[in-house]
A = this chain, B = another copy of it.
Amino acid sequence: MKFKKYIFLSFALFLTLSLHARQTNWVEVEPGIWKAVIGKPEPYNLLTASGVGPYHEGLTKLKPAEFPLSKNEITAKIIDGKTYLRFPLDRGEQLYGFGLNFKTVNQRGRILELHVDHYNGSDNGRTHSPTPFYVSSKGYGIFINSARYLKVYAGAAVRRDSKNPPVVQDRNTDPDWNPHPYSDGVEILVPAEGVEFYVIGGPTAMNAVQRFNLFNGGGCLPPRWGLGFTQRLERMTDASGVAAEAKAFEDKGYPLDFIGLEPGWQSKSYPNTFEWDAKRFPEPEKLVKEMLHKNIRLNLWINPYVSPDAPIYKKILPYTASHTVWAGLVPDLKTDSARKFLFGTLEKNKIDIGISGYKIDEVDGGDSYLWPDLATFPSGIPAEQMRQTYGLLMQRYTTELYQKRNLRTYGLVRASNAGGVSFPYVIYNDYYNHQDFITALINSGFSGVLWTPEVRASNLPEEWVRRFQSNVFSPMAMINAWASGTKPWTFPEVAPIIKRFALLRMQMMPYWYSEFARYHFEGIPPFRAMNLEPGFQDLVSVKEAKNLNLEENPYAKAITSEIKDQYMAGENLLVAPMFTGQKSRKVILPAGKWFDFYTGKYAGGGEVINITPGLDQIPVYVKDGGIIPMGKPLLHAPKAGEKVDLEIRYYGTKPGEYKLYDDDGETFNYQKGDYSFRTIKVSKVNGKLLGSISKAEKNKPNSVGKITYKMMTL
């Protein structure tokens, strides 16, 4: 018996040793970013797909970080041809990220399969950008560089040998029996015999997000016009319809920067010819020129599936997948030839004549609207990896078409992933829940993507207003009501409110543009969760510490549930959208003082306020000392070189400082240093405003006209 036991133990020891990987070797590849490799990582991954390197200069400017975890608590093993990763979790630690979720912000306790897909109403990992990156409230991030479908147990799997095991309960008698026992680890299954993965330091969660974004090249910087308004037209609109729409906006005084043409711009669609329909658009070049003359750009809808009637059909055929989508060819974007033909056709008579960008549809899935997982591609890239990266590839290669012309673009896409942070694309979808759109906006900041809570149809004027107001405080102010034909002025009873908010968006352009510059240069997402705001996370952890009486302390109640209906927009603004039917709402104001955006009045701080705004207001609050540089209510974004007068609004009582970004607004010259950050300083001295702005740098673009200062808080 003893001998037998000895054999068993030896065998167990052998198993243990052979299953455990050798000590993981961590290499600090960028400041505060450590990389480890287990097994034989596949050559094709998210970073090779995007082809974007780190923005090293930005990374070096961040404060140094320590390796944030205990190295020997991170385990990596290869078993049964798959990679098993495990990262430790502390009690009270919260997790954010894992891609563009629509219903939840806190991800601890969740089980996800990260899988590019149309979002279908459940946060299960299937979404437009299932970014394999998460951030901890403890101030670090983890990124798995794999283009496979990853299974994630985010504090949901319990190891038998856990050092922090859950309490064993008896369901027979314990009324508090917990169906989800405590777990002290994040476990990730990578279906490949190796992977590279990254630990990203803080010390704050925001720092980890910044490092992740900068590691992916820094956030995208849209052209100035990209931050104006866009309207998408009925799919069969012709050239005269385009001109009429532009005129209607102009005549009625609503801003418009770019118009989107839906599938009908082509001779055939689903699958696509990628050729202008000769009847509806007999002279596309003339149309584009005329519109550019009015300061309005055109954006074209596409999906990548090639019709037998497309001129490129025969040429691209050998470089396409084994399977078709809507009987159209699926270009293998990892072959030079497929790229040559597909992107060639996107240039010719389109970008060549001034088309400003694309809306790239149906690269996300919905499974039955995509190639199957057992499709094969001539390049040998498996269908699964293609699925996870096709949106990335479409963004990458269309972006390159503009880069070589030294012109920025700003488009729409249905799928992205880690690696795509720097691509100038905004994600959209067919899902249309206003509340969930806001949650997606919050999560976009954890996932290195941009998201538009576009307005489509609305049943009621109230809904139209509420959705429009959120849209104004988002990365792309899009009206995508082509199917219903709704225009900004469709509901006359609320048209003045709509117009006021549309013009507010235009006035705020200096602020939005500066915040996007921070996204690019510092990696700070322009739209993001409250959880990244100082003074917020501390409040949330109160919940963990005490068993609060929620009847007596409604504040505690508010912070025990997820905060997914308010968000930060840029450095200084807290936005708390109203939803149809809502007459009042609670807003959590983090520690410090917060002021009403419209009136400058003190609103509260470190507390939950209950507000009852009218239909004419979306609640927005400004930080103490917050500066919002405002331009003019233009109908189109200023052109390169055009000067715009500034009104510098100052809120609260603390001295404020703001870095105003400036460049030509249209080219990539900023990447060669052709930009400036000018420091605005404002304070209140003896009840009077004292404001200053640093001088414009010589030989740098300068779009600032006359400057006035406005003390909002009296």
By a beta-carbon cutoff of 8 Å, the part of chain A in contact with chain B is 8, 12, 15, 19, 79-82, 84, 109, 111, 151, 153, 156-161, 165-173, 177, 179-181, 187-189, 191, 235-236, 263-264, 266-271, 277, 307-309, 318, 320-329, 367-369, 371-376, 378, 382
In the complex, which residue of chain B has the Cβ closest to the Cβ of A179? B369
In the bound complex, what is the Cα–Cα distance between A373 and B152 (angstroms)?
9
Knowing A8-B318, A158-B324, A372-B187, say if A170 contacts B269 (CB, 8 Å): yes
Interchain CB contact under 8 A, A367 and B327: no
A324 to chain B, nearest CB (A): 5
Interchain CB contact under 8 A, B180 and A368: yes
A329 contacts across to B, CB distance below 8 A: 160
A84 contacts across to B, CB distance below 8 A: 374
In the bound complex, what is the Cα–Cα distance between A308 and B167 (angstroms)?
11
In the complex, which residue of chain B has the Cβ closest to the Cβ of A327? B168
Interchain CB contact under 8 A, A12 and B369: no
Interchain CB contact under 8 A, B374 and A153: yes
Interchain CB contact under 8 A, B327 and A158: yes
Interchain CB contact under 8 A, B157 and A269: no
Interchain CB contact under 8 A, A269 and B327: no
In the bound complex, what is the Cα–Cα distance between A188 and B374 (angstroms)?
8
A113 to chain B, nearest CB (A): 9
A166 contacts across to B, CB distance below 8 A: 324, 327
In the bound complex, what is the Cα–Cα distance between A636 and B289 (angstroms)?
88
A328 contacts across to B, CB distance below 8 A: 168
Interchain CB contact under 8 A, B327 and A172: no
In the bound complex, what is the Cα–Cα distance between A82 and B191 (angstroms)?
11
3 nearest interchain CB pairs? A171-B270, A157-B372, A170-B268
Knowing A168-B307, A172-B269, say if A327 contacts B181 (CB, 8 Å): yes
Interchain CB contact under 8 A, B172 and A266: yes
A372 contacts across to B, CB distance below 8 A: 111, 151, 153, 156-157, 187, 189
In the bound complex, what is the Cα–Cα distance between A417 and B80 (angstroms)?
22
A170 contacts across to B, CB distance below 8 A: 268-270, 307
A87 to chain B, nearest CB (A): 13
In the bound complex, what is the Cα–Cα distance between A269 and B111 (angstroms)?
25
A159 contacts across to B, CB distance below 8 A: 322-324
The residue in A12, A80, A322, A372 that gathers the most chain B C-beta atoms within 10 A of its C-beta is A372
Interchain CB contact under 8 A, A191 and B191: yes
A533 to chain B, nearest CB (A): 30
| 13 A-B pairs in the complex with CB atoms less than 8 angstroms apart | A19-B376, A153-B372, A157-B375, A158-B325, A165-B324, A165-B327, A166-B327, A168-B309, A168-B327, A169-B326, A170-B270, A181-B327, A191-B191
In the bound complex, what is the Cα–Cα distance between A80 and B161 (angstroms)?
34
A273 to chain B, nearest CB (A): 9
A321 contacts across to B, CB distance below 8 A: 160
A156 contacts across to B, CB distance below 8 A: 368, 372
A235 contacts across to B, CB distance below 8 A: 172
In the bound complex, what is the Cα–Cα distance between A98 and B236 (angstroms)?
42
Interchain CB contact under 8 A, B177 and A270: yes
A323 contacts across to B, CB distance below 8 A: 157-160
Interchain CB contact under 8 A, A374 and B177: no
A586 to chain B, nearest CB (A): 30
In the complex, which residue of chain B has the Cβ closest to the Cβ of A235? B172
A382 contacts across to B, CB distance below 8 A: 79-80
In the complex, which residue of chain B has the Cβ closest to the Cβ of A111? B367
A177 contacts across to B, CB distance below 8 A: 270
Interchain CB contact under 8 A, A160 and B320: yes
- Within 8 Å by CB of A374, from B180, B189, B320, lies B189
- Within 8 Å by CB of A111, from B172, B270, B277, B368, lies B368
A236 contacts across to B, CB distance below 8 A: 172
The residue in A15, A19, A181 that gathers the most chain B C-beta atoms within 10 A of its C-beta is A181
14 additional A-B pairs beyond A160-B321, A179-B369, beta carbons within 8 Å, are A79-B382, A111-B367, A111-B372, A156-B372, A157-B323, A160-B323, A165-B324, A171-B269, A171-B270, A171-B326, A172-B268, A172-B277, A177-B270, A181-B327
In the bound complex, what is the Cα–Cα distance between A324 and B164 (angstroms)?
13
In the bound complex, what is the Cα–Cα distance between A32 and B323 (angstroms)?
33
Interchain CB contact under 8 A, A326 and B374: no
A263 contacts across to B, CB distance below 8 A: 171-172
Knowing A19-B376, A160-B321, A376-B79, say if A326 contacts B181 (CB, 8 Å): yes
In the bound complex, what is the Cα–Cα distance between A321 and B160 (angstroms)?
8
In the complex, which residue of chain B has the Cβ closest to the Cβ of A188? B374
A269 contacts across to B, CB distance below 8 A: 170-172
In the bound complex, what is the Cα–Cα distance between A402 and B382 (angstroms)?
48
In the complex, which residue of chain B has the Cβ closest to the Cβ of A326? B181
The residue in A157, A329, A374 that gathers the most chain B C-beta atoms within 10 A of its C-beta is A374
A271 contacts across to B, CB distance below 8 A: 168
In the bound complex, what is the Cα–Cα distance between A243 and B713 (angstroms)?
78
A368 contacts across to B, CB distance below 8 A: 109, 111, 156, 179-180
In the bound complex, what is the Cα–Cα distance between A79 and B378 (angstroms)?
13
A82 contacts across to B, CB distance below 8 A: 374
A169 contacts across to B, CB distance below 8 A: 270, 326-327
A120 to chain B, nearest CB (A): 9
A165 contacts across to B, CB distance below 8 A: 324, 327
A160 contacts across to B, CB distance below 8 A: 320-324, 329
In the bound complex, what is the Cα–Cα distance between A374 and B326 (angstroms)?
37
Interchain CB contact under 8 A, B153 and A12: no
- Within 8 Å by CB of A308, from B168, B266, B369, lies B168
In the complex, which residue of chain B has the Cβ closest to the Cβ of A79? B376
In the bound complex, what is the Cα–Cα distance between A74 and B270 (angstroms)?
30
A191 contacts across to B, CB distance below 8 A: 191
In the bound complex, what is the Cα–Cα distance between A482 and B9 (angstroms)?
46
A164 to chain B, nearest CB (A): 12
In the bound complex, what is the Cα–Cα distance between A367 and B264 (angstroms)?
44
In the bound complex, what is the Cα–Cα distance between A170 and B160 (angstroms)?
57
Interchain CB contact under 8 A, B374 and A157: yes
